[in-house]
A and B are shown apart, each in its own frame.
Chain A
Amino acid sequence: MEWTGHSEHLTAAVGMTQVWRPDTTEEAWRLKRQYGTFASYVAGGTWLRTRWESGSSVLPPYLISLDKIAPLQAIQQLESEQEAVELRIGAAVTLAAIESHPLAGGAVPLLGKAVSAVAAPSVRRQATIGGNVMSRSGDLIPALLALDAVIVSYSQGQYERQPLAEWLAGDGGDCDKLTVGFELKQVGGSCWFRKIGRRETFTPSVITIACAYRADSTAGRLLDVRIAVGGAGMAPVRLYEAETAAESGASGASVYAAVRKGIPSVADDYASAAYRRMAAANVIAAELDRAASG
């Protein structure tokens, strides 16, 4: 027996919120440091809006918009000593911009395919790559993982580069860092991306798979295989064992087994962990068998 308040209704108190629109990364970071948990960074705000609407978080008193910080809106080619072109995508670049940018969606097909699988076109015009990754279950993450992307963050006058895989393995509790962008290489070869959802489009992911590889047609083998999976409520992971199995010329059956081992065990009201494992393993094994057979 207890008194129950109904704080879920408080989420609509929009009149309280103030919006900062700093011009530099440094300013944004300072503001966040000043307001702490009373502030939230916001770029497109699509994911945040869904959370506010659902009551899973409350519209904070301060929003720190990243929309005026020029480097966060940019897609740039980086100087690179290696052969592959390196790319930096600002955290506040919209998915639609990535989709249509010749250096991004155009030149990195895996990223382009992943972006197209997110939500619907209107949402992609507002949602950003940073928001998708910060949600920790966005559909872009498997693609970025397969591309060995690096997450660039800012804190106290310093920029830090960290492999995305490493960042994901952390607990995400480091509020002091502002994610400013992502770096990745345009790798050659082939790729595919597959999102298994609850319906054909605009759906939460049940399991999302990103895969890049090169086919050595003379040897009939696959080289440099990268496979990553994610999905709603699942921590995205690279499937290193499956990659090794595929590179060593193993049959679909061994790849299948390696994939199953690597998929995190996640179940919800829609699909069991066993289903997710089998669906991912099936699709990966079938696609790699097809790739290996030319």
Chain B
Amino acid sequence: MSKITTKNLNLWYGSFHALKDVNLSFYEKKITAIIGPSGCGKSTLLRVFNRMNDLVEGVKVEGDVLIDNEPICGTGVCDLVKLRKKVGMVFQRPNPFPLSVYENIVFGLRVHDLAVKKDYDKIVYESLNSVLLWDDLKDRLRKSALSLSLEQKQRLCIARTIAVKPDIVLMDEPCSALDPQATARIEELMRELKNSYTIVIVTHNMQQAARVSEDTGFMLLGELIEFARTEDIFTRPQDKRTEDYITGRYG
């Protein structure tokens, strides 16, 4: 079933046309990868889904974005809090708060008043467990999250995101700060998580897209050039530009 759909999505940063007539459908409980050269609008597209672009002054969005077949922000004001609870985000740089491991994870719970205090421990356990950090960190819950390794930090950020029980997890180059082994383990984790979440991952790394995703979209200069099953994209691209990119003939 289609989880996220866009119809004639256009976005401008001031006068710069960053997304051009994007039409796509991301499917539920699958991993969808978005690839494309630097500056083609991958992050911009991702940030449309949780409206993080709203932070940028002078942004203009046109067209429809549907999640579960409902416009994310119908006409007029929209409930960003509700939207962002449903659509979580993991960033490129692991960015835990300068708080303890425990406090990082319950941050979202406090913000949404989601659970009573006595359930916090349970949710911390579940969240850390699902990112395979529990055994490493169970004795260090009160230690600063800044003392963790990069990979642990990124896992913690994923745990922090899923602690509020989103439906969709957006990941913007989540492994680009990590070494190959850590990258492989995070990819493993993504495959695990897709049983519960719809995942959209932006990546520069075509092997990564090929390894983890079911569907792949290729973007170029703000346009979605091709969107298909990952193996089709990589073995039988329909568009010349996609082929040039995946064979490395494009910048």
Partners in one complex: no
Contacts from B to A (Cβ < 8 Å): none
Contacts from A to B (Cβ < 8 Å): none
